[in-house]
Amino acid sequence: MAKRKRRVVVTGGAGFLGSHLCDRFIKEGMKVVCLDNLITGSLKNVKHLSKNKDFDFLKHDVSKEIKIKGPVDYVLHFASPASPVDYLKHPIPTLKVGSLGTHNTVGLAKLKKARYLLASTSEIYGDPLEHPQKETYWGHVNPIGPRGVYDEAKRFAEAITLAYHRYHKVDVRIVRIFNTYGPRMNIKDGRVVPNFIYQAMHNKSLTVYGNGRQTRSFCYYSDLIEGIYRLLFSKAVGQPVNIGNPTEFTILQFAKLVLKLSGAKSKIVYKPLPIDDPRQRRPNIGLAKKYLDWTPKVKLEDGLQETIDWFQKNVK
């Protein structure tokens, strides 16, 4: 009798990162159930999987009851608007998917006796007073500011995930994702990578907010997916784990690199800094190194060139 293939549920599976996770699990010989309500996800991201017998797509809002027939081995909750443009446009759904959606998905894991992985974010650190940020840092967040709908939803999601772990003994993992970029990003989602690439592609001025000295660390999607995969199959470390690239760049440095790699002749213009925009963001990845034997491999210049090439080929 043939051994049953492991089965994984990925919420937000038609999104940027969710779709790459679906690819990875299919490649590893697993069955994938992809859930997405397509508020910010796109069927284009999983179209290539549509005829694969091991892939199922269900259009569903995970803030509502989830019903999955048959066995489930892993549940990964990646459903949520993730860019300021998207979560400011959809503030209530963002709060609901972080609260009700997490409740429903971790409940599904409990019901199916499945391992659960929550996609959290570096945004839970807010505008950090500690640099670089370790997982033990509690954060510096404005709970009622415009970004609070995302930040606090993720903070609640972590709390309920660990409550299910402590009270119901659900086997859980939490990944805190730092700025990630790569193919399948929505070019109009407002985040700095697609924003600069879009502006450069259309010979528009690159918009730098503030003086451009605020910093970010950029992780290529393939490095992040590898880290998440290792975390899912690792022994539980009992706390969230940062996954990101600790190499830090100013936004102005990044803008100049986009111009260099794209060959655009665009100018750089400066606009006021958005409310509660963090001044610096860089992960301490000591836990990922220790428990997952993981470090990012792709240099920013290489990953950014691949991303620019993908946008030029696939996006008008």
Going residue by residue through the chain (316 aa), what tens digit of pLDDT does each one get? Answer: 678 899 999 999 999 999 999 999 999 999 999 999 999 999 999 999 999 999 999 999 999 999 999 999 999 999 999 888 899 999 999 999 999 999 999 999 999 999 999 999 999 998 888 889 999 999 999 999 989 999 999 999 999 999 999 999 999 999 999 999 999 999 888 788 999 999 999 999 998 988 888 888 899 999 999 999 999 999 877 799 999 999 998 999 999 999 999 998 888 988 887 765 667 788 999 999 999 999 999 999 999 999 999 999 988 7
CB contact burial 170-191 (16+ within 10 A = b; e otherwise): bebbbbbbbbbbbbbbbbebbb
Domain count for the chain, please give it: 1
Q: Domain range spanning residue 58?
A: 7-181+219-246+281-297
Decide: 55 and 8 in contact? Cβ < 8 Å.
no
214 occurs within a structural domain = no
Query: In terms of DSSP H, where are the helices of the chain?
Result: 16-27, 84-89, 91-112, 148-168, 192-201, 221-232, 251-262, 286-292, 300-314
- Contacts of 301 by beta carbon, 8 Å cutoff, 6+ apart: 257, 261
Q: Residue 140 has which token pair?
A: 């510096």
- Contacts of 224 by beta carbon, 8 Å cutoff, 6+ apart: 17, 177, 180, 243, 244
104 occurs within a structural domain = yes
> What is the per-residue pLDDT for 277?
67
314 occurs within a structural domain = no
15 occurs within a structural domain = yes
> What is the per-residue pLDDT for 1?
64
- Contacts of 293 by beta carbon, 8 Å cutoff, 6+ apart: 230
118 occurs within a structural domain = yes
Decide: 86 and 38 in contact? Cβ < 8 Å.
no
Q: How far apart are the first and last CA of the chain?
A: 50
263 occurs within a structural domain = no
CA distance linking residue 29 with residue 20, whole number of Å? 15
Catalytic-role residue among 116, 150, 220, 221 = 150
Assign residue 109 the CATH number of its domain.
3.40.50.720
> What is the per-residue pLDDT for 271?
87
Whether residue 150 lies in the annotated active site = yes
> What is the per-residue pLDDT for 11?
98
148 occurs within a structural domain = yes
> What is the per-residue pLDDT for 276?
59
275 occurs within a structural domain = no
- Contacts of 148 by beta carbon, 8 Å cutoff, 6+ apart: 141, 142
